[in-house]
Amino acid sequence: MNEIFRTSTRWLRLGQFVKFCLVGGSGVVVHLTSFHLLANSGIGPEIHLAVSRESGVIAAYSGMNKSSYLQAIADYIRANARPPDKFSHQPRLYQLAKRLADGRPFDDDVLFAAVWMHDLGVFIGHRPEDPTALAGWDNIAYAMSETPGLLRSFGFPMGKIPAVVEVIRTHLPSSKPTSFEGALMRDADILEQLGAVGILRTVSKVGRDTRFIRFGDALTVLRRNLEQLPARLQLASARRLAEPRIQLLKAFLEAAEVEAGGTEW
């Protein structure tokens, strides 16, 4: 469980290693030694530090302006995304979701926060390690539960937090978004499961995810994605972007079948 602490120290810099203790809102004193700042906090009257009992400082930022709280969100996810390859999904998904807006207005704060926070429950250190517990784990419920407190600690606009949680709740292909931001994120997330990106993200799970024991398991999921996901896209912009991804995935699956020569994957 992560907790947020504050210090009035003014002279923290990017890359600096420091030693001191922080006093939390509950009065708990946490001694930190030789930790490494993950963001350029600048010089200001207050530095906010997101602290993990397991790994020390995981985000540092100052002030309450938009650039500060968005940077704090990104720093937090960068530090918590484990395995490390889990991190690239967020910045890629955010850019893709914005592209799908196709000129229509949307709340960038809500979209950014939802995109970056939605997979919190799949990271090592947040999800259960016990196989039985993991099999029944609801990573979306976890993200919905943890996100509000974290966003408040980052100085994110409190009035927008419910909208962020709602976008996270409805981001699966089987869900029906209740906002334009939700539709942007849901369709972008579907596109991330098609094409070259979808292939890489799926095949990388083989051997380290209990659902993917053999390559055949990955191929089964990719075939299901190809058959089911394109029809679930809501936005016209997403359907346009899906076409080359669909063709690439189809070609990959056909090649995999031909090259296997009838043998089992």
Q: Dump pLDDT digits (tens) for 9-28.
A: 333 333 333 333 343 333 33
Tell me the residue type at 111. Answer: L
Share in percent of the chain as helix, strand, coil (round to 5):
50, 15, 35
Does 100 share its domain with 178?
yes
Q: What is the DSSP letter of 212?
A: B
The 10 Å Cβ neighbour count of residue 207 is 12
72 has a pLDDT exceeding 80: yes
Which of 34 and 185 is assigned the larger pLDDT? 185
Is the pTM above the cut of 0.95? no
pLDDT digits (tens, 9 = 90+) for 206-250: 877 778 888 989 999 999 999 999 999 999 999 999 999 999 999
Place of tokens 């210090």: 7
33 has a pLDDT exceeding 50: no
pLDDT digits (tens, 9 = 90+) for 124-175: 878 777 777 777 778 898 899 999 999 999 999 999 999 999 999 999 998 9
Domain final residue, candidates 192, 219, 237: 192
Mean pLDDT, the chain, rounded, equals 78
Domain final residue, candidates 63, 80, 109: 63
258 has a pLDDT exceeding 50: yes
Does 121 share its domain with 185?
yes
CATH number for the domain spanning 96: value is: 1.10.3210.10
Does 20 share its domain with 52?
yes
Alpha helix segments (H runs only) across the chain:
66-80, 89-100, 108-117, 131-135, 139-153, 161-169, 180-191, 195-203, 215-228, 236-260
Q: What's the average model confidence in pLDDT over 174-197?
A: 96
pLDDT band for position 265 (cuts 50, 70, 90): confident
Does 51 share its domain with 70?
no
Domain count, the chain: 3
Domain holding 44, by residue range, is 1-63
User: How large is the angle between the packed helices 66-80 and 139-153, nearest 10 degrees?
Assistant: 140
62 has a pLDDT exceeding 50: no
pLDDT digits (tens, 9 = 90+) for 86-110: 778 999 999 999 999 999 999 999 9
53 has a pLDDT exceeding 90: no
Does 77 share its domain with 167?
yes
Nearest Cα neighbor of 42 from 10, 5, 77 is 10
Between CA 118 and CA 164 the distance in angstroms is 9
Does 149 share its domain with 94?
yes
Return the CA Rg of the chain: 20
Between CA 265 and CA 157 the distance in angstroms is 49
Phi/psi of residue 52, each to 5°? -110, 135
Q: What's the average model confidence in pLDDT over 48-67?
A: 49
Domain final residue, candidates 42, 63, 84: 63
